[in-house]
Chains A and B, each alone.
Chain A
């Protein structure tokens, strides 16, 4: 199933993360209403921007002038697997992997729902060896591993996470294989009726901030304080001053088969049975067992040395965890840094033919201590993150899987409703799937809010009152309901109302907008009306350039904005000249 099937192609490289971080604070932003919270000042946007810069040193707001852009760089194909062995001799190896997206959290204050909105992904070059992947759906992250590298102790530098998106072959996907055997086989495999397209799964890890891998936020964090102060000084001096974080990626592109979740792993799932590990996904077929360790084994230093868990054994066990039957073993050389980077953490093992694979898988260390234990049942939302508007009637769909295959039977589900932080259980409901293993979940739409649901199908995948969602064991779905804002929709479409209720929010939170549009200038807003309408059109919600990037425009705000954009032209006297604009760019924000 999935990228664990053959053929598959590996890539590795680097990634730049440049989100605006100012809306990560509930003192700056109301995530339920999608509104900026301003300081009390006559020029509230200016004061808000100054406050955001002040927070660089006072509150860890590391990137108030980000762009949300995410880009792969120095990322290329580095191998492939056609028959269970990694190969590197193919003209497609070394092909560049191009990706540029917008990093947006559905829940701005938390870390569980990052998404990458983008238009297309390209492996190789047009005219040459190439896989062209127009977007079918956004990338979503899951299985956030807070313990991936505790030495890289700076903000999210400790963590890693799994990203996944899938690309329908009916949606413009194309492969130019020429004489590349890797691409020829992938192209051939795509022709099967059961294959919907291709899935890209990648792991991001070792994120560094302020371009300095030596920084730590563990007190006293004096070097971090110095770097933050320097950044604050630069920000106060003016100009466009993003402060992107940088990380590493390893990934794999492979088959997307019918009935597989598109945006998160659904293969057989082995959750950690020991501390500081991340979940494994596995696929067993015939005499081969593939383990996806992309998110599983921590690094122990800044040089990315993998933790040595010793020789590991994979076997099957009875439901009570006893009666271990060994299937295969692998040693450190198969999951150390070199192996990890060569195959994106995928390890292929030979297992005896005829193995009974209906039992739970388990991975043990040489002391017979379980390290990873399979959860046979997993309840996975068809759509991991959903946005909709107050009053909309939306029903979510959650599919229960058994050992990576859709469960074709009724199953009891304990549904946990969580607050937006994922830390507080608000409500618990016992329910049941239909005979296809599908749970239909009508979503609440009475007000603007962010809510999480955790569908549990066994005792090990439940959130706890103490820790909330455990992303290594829980599956979950987040929803963001935009308030209707009918009161805003009914306002007169004056410039004052439009700026106050709509544009000032963007202007305060996203100084990068200054680079192409002065949001406080009604003349420019009018001049760009067709473009603004196109970029804010709900039909373009998934597009890379959708506005606002953080996707918090309510229907009422859109109505007011469009009434203004469609209204009479604003008097010329209101228009700021380019000379004024140029002048403004040269002034520090504080002046």
Chain B
């Protein structure tokens, strides 16, 4: 499970550092989620695809909101790429063993990894009760706690710490109602509250509600629905919810036979078509990073370019998942490697 290092928050610079870390955490979840999503064969697992897409889109939104908060308090967001396998930025794990994230095709392991990433601090016991060992590691916090600490500190900042309309991304083109400018602590608090609830659900007293602030199922439980192949259903037991009895409709055979962690794979011995597919994926991903960086830095229209780059990455990834490797029973999805062209730009 993810446990982020809780560093002291005493200055605006500390908050900026933590927000940059949050950006890295949100963005770092995307490649594993997208790898699983794009590895689903067309025509299968419609419900799982819908869940995974919803999660991935919300992670992008969370990252944009983090960027807005960071920009509002004078920072400059940087879209950083991390290797897979590897831990999320700042993850120290519950027992000082960070969770190494892998690029896994659609599978129970991939869903379990998603649950590990999104696990709330008070993980509810539907379907299996487990005990968390948080108390023994006071400096390691869940993503939710990580944000709550940040929220507590931001609350203490004077109004002069906030610069309205600085490099803000709004919902005027994409994600209606989900991305909003951050001009003050109130805006930042709203953003953080939404981020936490969409990941973990909401807490009401001792009861954990798996629904987020919009009464939609939170990420941890969306992964759980796929993992257990059961729809999270309201029930009369004390927990209030249970997985099932209705099936979610998962067909694990609907996944492409993709290798894990293509970033560590040696493609030099693979067919040219597979090499070309990897190259196209990396170019598309690099283009996405570059355009996204301009988008979060206040360049007008750059978010539209980033969204188109995202579509291009999707197309390249879907293609890659159909190209056989030398072992014709295997394919490889995108490695999510940033490979800028020596003369600048992605290609």
Residue positions of A touching B, CB distance < 8 A? 14, 16, 71, 73-74, 76, 94-96, 124-129, 176, 178, 210-211, 230, 233-234, 237-244, 246, 514-516, 531, 577-579, 581-583, 585-586
Contacts and interface: CB of A to CB of B under 8 A. Distances in A.
Interface stretch (B74-82, B145-153, B156-164, B304-312): B304-312
Given A241-B173, A241-B301, 11 more contacts: A96-B214, A127-B217, A127-B233, A128-B211, A234-B300, A240-B311, A577-B280, A578-B280, A582-B312, A586-B291, A586-B345
**Counting chain B CB atoms within 10 Å of each CB, which of A124, A128, A129, A515 scores highest?**
A128
A457 to B, nearest CB: 42
B60 interface: no
A581 B317 CA distance: 13
Contact of A234 (B214, B279, B291, B301): B301
A211 B170 contact: yes
A77 to B, nearest CB: 9
A244 B234 contact: no
A18 B284 CA distance: 26
Contacts of A14: 176-177
Q: Which 4 pairs, one residue from A and one from B, show the smallest C-beta to C-beta distance?
A: A239-B305, A578-B280, A234-B301, A211-B172
Given A239-B302, A577-B280, A582-B280, A516 B173 contact: no
Contacts of B291: 239, 586
Contact of A240 (B42, B225, B308): B308
A517 to B, nearest CB: 8
Contacts of B211: 125, 128
B287 A582 contact: yes
Contacts of B173: 241-244
14 contacts: A96-B214, A124-B215, A125-B215, A127-B217, A127-B232, A230-B300, A234-B300, A237-B301, A238-B305, A239-B306, A239-B308, A577-B276, A585-B287, A586-B347
Nearest to B345: A586
Contacts of A585: 287, 305, 308-309, 312
A583 B287 CA distance: 9
A124 B174 CA distance: 23
A569 B78 CA distance: 45
B176 A244 contact: yes
Contacts of A124: 215
Interface of B: 42, 170, 172-174, 176-178, 211, 214-217, 225, 231-234, 241, 246, 276-277, 279-281, 283-284, 287, 291, 300-302, 304-309, 311-312, 314-316, 319, 345-347
Given A125-B215, A515-B308, A579-B347, A16 B172 contact: no
Contact of B304 (A71, A94, A241, A531): A241
A516 B42 CA distance: 14
B256 to A, nearest CB: 16
A332 B214 CA distance: 32
Nearest to A235: B301
B176 A126 contact: no
A127 B176 contact: no
Contact of A126 (B231, B279, B280, B305): B231
A95 B216 CA distance: 8
A243 B173 CA distance: 6
A579 B214 CA distance: 40
B178 A73 contact: yes
A239 B284 CA distance: 13
A237 B305 CA distance: 9
B301 to A, nearest CB: 4
Contacts of B178: 73
A578 B346 CA distance: 13
Contacts of B307: 239-240
B1 to A, nearest CB: 24
B197 to A, nearest CB: 13
A73 B311 contact: no
A239 B304 contact: yes
B346 A233 contact: no
A582 B347 contact: yes
A582 B283 contact: yes
A129 B309 CA distance: 38
B280 A74 contact: no
Contacts of B42: 531
A96 B217 CA distance: 11
B223 to A, nearest CB: 14
Nearest to B230: A127
A586 B305 contact: yes
B231 A127 contact: yes
Contacts of B172: 210-211, 243-244
A99 B189 CA distance: 28
